[in-house]
Structure 1
């Protein structure tokens, strides 16, 4: 599997627009994120070009315009980001992450129930 590129926070906004609907022109991407961010179309084009260089986005020429689509799935990116986060901050382990949140941010009853369910599923699969 090819390595997943590092994507900045701003680039992730553009990727979300492409994951939601592809292919899209730069104008369509700008319109899709216009309510969330007050970016000019030139900003969106700059971000699209960065993502192209990183091979996170692919482009297809359609007459006089270019249509962009994601070259990686959201799931691939999420896996890479979460693994990197766990590796950097918690030595690749999930339990210290959960312990951190339980100490510094009260987990809701729903969070606890979901964690118990997930642990039960993991136990059942062994």
Structure 2
């Protein structure tokens, strides 16, 4: 899986929420949180298509974009990649690092405890 930049990830989040969308619709949704011009968003969409992360379907004179990668699949890949790069693939040091400095909320800790309990069963 090719690396997706932070800006590309912002575009993917829009399309993971709602798809398919035309470029103009993606631009409108990003306009609320990003100060990007139309050309920037269209460039990011084109890069994501080239990377195989988005598909396009022609709809009259416009193209509709839809994710080819599910959000949970990408998140799993990104988490494994981060863990591999920073901690030699070990999960415990990653979680320990997140826990330092109030990085985990009480809800996060409860979810982790439940996950560990399920994994032990």
Q: TM over 0.5: same fold?
A: yes
SS in 1 for 2:9: helix
Q: How many residues align?
A: 121
Query: 1:100 offset after TM fit, Å?
Result: 2.0
Match of 1:18 among 15, 20, 32: 15
Match of 1:37 among 34, 38, 42: 34
Match of 1:49 among 46, 68, 76: 46
Classify 1:29/1:86 alpha carbon distance in 2 versus 1 (closer, same or farther; 3 Å). same
When the two chains are superposed, the root-mean-square deviation of aligned CA atoms in Å is 1.5
Q: Mark the runs of 5 or more structure 1 residues left unpaired by the alignment.
A: none
TM-score, normalised with respect to structure 1: 0.88
Give 1 or 2 for the bigger CA radius of gyration: 1
The residue aligned with 1:27 is: 24
SS in 1 for 2:63: strand
Match of 1:93 among 54, 75, 90: 90
Classify 1:94/1:40 alpha carbon distance in 2 versus 1 (closer, same or farther; 3 Å). same
CA offsets 1:1-26 (integer angstroms, 9 cap, x no match): xxx22100000011111111111110
The residue aligned with 1:75 is: 72
Query: 1:69 offset after TM fit, Å?
Result: 0.8
